[in-house]
Amino acid sequence: MSAATSTPILDIHPSAHPASAEERARRMTNPGFGRVFTDHMVLIPYKEGAGWGRGELKAYGPIEMDPASSVLHYGQAIFEGFKAYHQKDGSVASFRPEANARRFQTSARRLAMPELPEELFLDSARALIRQDRAWVPSAVGESLYLRPLMIATDALLGVRPSSEYLYLLIASPSGSYFPQGVKPVTVWISEDYVRAAPGGTGFAKCAGNYAASLVAQRQAKGEGCDQVVWLDAIHRKYVEEMGGMNIFFVYREKGETVVVTPELTGTLLPGVTRDSLLQLAKDQGWRAEERKISTDEWEAALQEGRMTEVFACGTAAVITPVGRVKSRKGDWLVNGGETGPVAAKLREVLLNLQHGLIPDTHGWMTRIL
């Protein structure tokens, strides 16, 4: 029997069968991304009228659901992704988790779901990380990936916002996204599919956005590419994102380094990494711009040698350089297909910051343990 203890927020029921130290060590060796899960998870139910109920931290495992559950039919589902990092001094800290808590609320509003209070979001993360602290990897570039999600659980086929929901939090030790070192990707500019349209759900981190993107991702693979680049839905010419990441372009103008990322129009997902890199670029003394950038400008700037690098960014892979761009119209190399110095520098600074190896001048780290 495991002892049950309570906090004001969550009932803690530790797993009766946590992985042994050897089993854990085995599963944490080259864990990849999102394949290995820790011993525990958090669940918090919501009921219209009653609000958020008493949550529970318990052994990781399957959840039971009615087959009529609204999420399975109409896709009322949102999620988040952030990480906990081992610090030089042995503590564990997370990078800007309150930004994820707020974005989770923004996503919930768009999907007509209840907002999880920021404190509950952060407390659930603290409780799970504390319980599964042995699963936080210690190497730089490795981390514990936290995946909060919320689903509609009404067992009713009528189309309307559910009156009951379930918030869940799971955690996954994640290795370096690129164990063999950062390797630039080849991208396919999608002219057949769009990810998000004005008035739609592009700015929300909802499951449906991903479901709708898979066929374009498959097409990109068919064209020999690793990732898809999304264009705006109206003109089909302004770059929005790359796969599930934000995108940056680096220019060399009159001896100055200029870092450009598409402006937030409502159809882009406002990435925490994107926002952080804009600041870190300025810290390097570079100019940082948010504006529209068309595929024509992209091609011309590459050909004229004004654009020196392209890279994508997000929590999972941090920074992914783009080495080659393909579309129906042609095929261009970026920086000779190699990782450029700006992407490499930003990646190094961000990772060092996240692991507490350099001073946290922007107050972005939240100590967990």
Q: How far is the CB of 105 from ligand PLP (least distance, A)?
A: 14
Task: Closer to ligand PLP by CB, 9 or 129: give it.
Answer: 129
Task: Provide, rounded to whole angstroms, the least separation between the CB of residue 17 and ligand PLP.
Answer: 32
- Residues 247, 274: Cα–Cα separation, whole Å: 8
CA 40 to chain centre: 21
Residue in 197, 227, 195, 198 with CA at minimum distance from that of residue 212 = 195
Angle CA 354–240–145, to nearest 5: 30
> Helix or strand or coil: residue 349?
helix
CB of 7 to ligand PLP, least distance (A): 28
Q: What is the DSSP letter of 351?
A: H
Q: Smallest distance from the beta carbon of 158 to ligand PLP, in angstroms?
A: 29
CB of 361 to ligand PLP, least distance (A): 20
- In this structure, how many other beta carbons lie within 10 angstroms of the beta carbon of residue 326? 17
d(CA 129, CA 309): 37
Which H/E stretch holds residue 230? strand 227-231
**Of 9 and 239, which CB lies nearer to ligand PLP in the complex structure?**
239
**Nearer residue to ligand PLP within complex by CB, 164 or 226:** 226
Closest alpha carbon to 185 in 334, 32, 34, 31: 334
Q: Which two tokens stand for residue 234?
A: 């109206």
Indicate the SS3 state at residue 149.
Answer: strand
Phi-psi region of 211 (alpha: psi -120 to 50; beta: other; left: phi over 0): alpha
Residues forming the site for ligand PLP (CB under 6 A):
81, 205, 241, 244-246, 269, 271-274, 314-315
The SS3 of residue 142 is coil
Q: 145 or 165: whose CB is closer to ligand PLP?
A: 145
Smallest separation, CB 194 to ligand PLP (Å): 13
205 or 347, CB closer to ligand PLP? 205
Shortest Å, Cβ 148 to ligand PLP: 12
Nearer to ligand PLP, 41 or 350 (CB): 350
Residue 269 or 301 with smaller CB distance to ligand PLP: 269
Minimum CB separation of residue 164 from ligand PLP in Å reads: 25
Q: Which two tokens stand for residue 85?
A: 């990092």
Distance, CA of 303 to chain centre: 32
Beta carbon nearer to ligand PLP, 146 or 307: 146
